[in-house]
Amino acid sequence: MNKQDTIILSGIQPSGKLHIGNYFGAIRQHIAMQEQGDAYYFIANYHSLTSLKNGEALKQFTFEVALDYLALGLDPEKATFFAQSDVPQVTELAWILGSLTPVSLMEKGVSYKDKVAAGLHPNIGLFTYPILQAADILIYHSNIVPVGEDQKQNIEICRDLASKFNHTFGGDFLVEPEEFIVKSVATVPGTDGQKMSKSYDNTLPIFDEAKSRKKKVMSILTDSTPLEEPKDPDSDNVFALISLFADETQKEEIAAKYRAGGYGYGHAKKELLSLMNDYFHEATERRVKLQENPSIVYDVLREGGKHARIQAEKVMQPIREVTGIHRSFNI
């Protein structure tokens, strides 16, 4: 991969505390990939507005997501890190793309259907969510979008819209991106065994009070095999979570204990708790320090936002030109 030629982009919604599903499914790849290209990572606050109607909470979660990323190793010298709302060209492009989007394409949106089925109000923002996401990606000519499995369809929609725009206006104005999904951690299970998600109240937050983390780990659903009997690690939730944190040797040792019997789920949960605590220990210390210096966090977002806005404006100018959108001035 040629570093200069590859634009990597991803976004994350600030609609609650980030959890280990977000970490293994997305954030870890984001941080690793900041070494591999020109990386753009942003906090998708407009997207969160489709589900969250509380200004104070949105501000707070936006700050916390920034804290989490910086504590987990996002380096603002390597990646452009910013808030979606600092790049108004994104909503501008979203409107233009929306004018080319068949309603039938949005009606196929699995994520929309899932969210409505889960009880979210079916507002227009939620319905056209993939168009805004496409604009997020296309506005920087992004090539690679690291996301979790559930975002695959949105990236396909993004490619469709880029190609539709290019065909309609006759030129290579927008670049079609590829998703990047890490298969081995495609879906991290929650404490109830379903996909871990903020919407299902089954998460293990990356950063949590010791007491609360312990309570959540201890509440992970298991079967009722008695302590003394052998257990199958491959069909157990706790083991699936342990596998995320343990190295190969630790994993084999713990799996052997499961199979031998005399090792209960309570033991496995304690093992998981200790692995989690160790894994996030340094990041937790960095986060505490950053939290005491919010101006560092806001400075990073401001500088990232400035850079992203300049890049977005470069892509936007020929698009205004070819679509015939009048502009009396550029700021």
Q: Contact with ligand ADP (CB under 6 A): which of 12, 134, 138, 139? A: 12
Residue 226 in tokens: 């008695």
Q: Give the integer Cα–Cα distance in Å for 169 and 175.
A: 14
Place of tokens 């290019």: 166
Binding of ligand ADP at residue 196 (CB under 6 A)? yes
How many residues interact with ligand TRP (rule CB under 6 A)?
A: 14
- Greatest CA separation for the chain: 77
| CB of 273 vs ligand ADP, minimal distance in Å | 19
Q: Contact with ligand ADP (CB under 6 A): which of 91, 187, 225, 323? A: 187
* Rounded alpha-carbon distances, angstroms, from residue 119 to 32, 61, 122, 228: 35, 21, 9, 42
Q: What is the DSSP string of 15-33?
A: SS--BHHHIIIIIHHHHHH
Cβ neighbour number for residue 4 with a 10 Å cutoff: 8
- Judge whether 216 counts as a catalytic residue: no
Q: Which of 53, 59, 152, 198 is catalytic?
A: 198
Residue 188 in tokens: 């991290």
Site for ligand TRP in 291-320 (CB under 6 A): none
Q: Contact with ligand ADP (CB under 6 A): which of 9, 22, 145, 246? A: 22
Binding site partner of 145, from ligand ADP, ligand TRP, none, Cβ cut-off 5-8 A by kind: ligand TRP
Number of C-alpha atoms within 13 angstroms, CB side, residue 20? 26
Among residues 331, 321, 327, 319, the alpha carbon closest in space to that of 96 is found at 319
Q: Contact with ligand ADP (CB under 6 A): which of 130, 148, 304, 305? A: 148
| CB of 313 vs ligand ADP, minimal distance in Å | 27
- Judge whether 17 counts as a catalytic residue: no
| CB of 171 vs ligand ADP, minimal distance in Å | 31
Residue 156 in tokens: 């396909």
Q: Which of 17, 195, 257, 306 is catalytic?
A: 195
Residue 57 in tokens: 């909470």
Q: Contact with ligand ADP (CB under 6 A): which of 150, 160, 192, 303? A: 150
Residue 55 in tokens: 């200004």
Binding site partner of 21, from ligand TRP, ligand ADP, none, Cβ cut-off 5-8 A by kind: ligand ADP
Site string for ligand TRP, 30-69 (x = CB under 6 A): --------------x--x----------------------
For CA atoms 184, 198, 9, 132, the dihedral sign is positive
Site for ligand TRP in 89-148 (CB under 6 A): 133, 136-137, 145, 147
Binding of ligand TRP at residue 151 (CB under 6 A)? yes
Q: Give the integer Cα–Cα distance in Å for 265 and 267.
A: 5
- Judge whether 115 counts as a catalytic residue: yes
Cβ neighbour number for residue 264 with a 10 Å cutoff: 18
The residue number whose beta carbon is nearest to ligand TRP equals 11
Binding of ligand ADP at residue 66 (CB under 6 A)? no
Phi-psi region of 193 (alpha: psi -120 to 50; beta: other; left: phi over 0): left
Which residue, 199 or 277, has its beta carbon nearer to ligand ADP?
199
Active site residues: 115, 195, 198
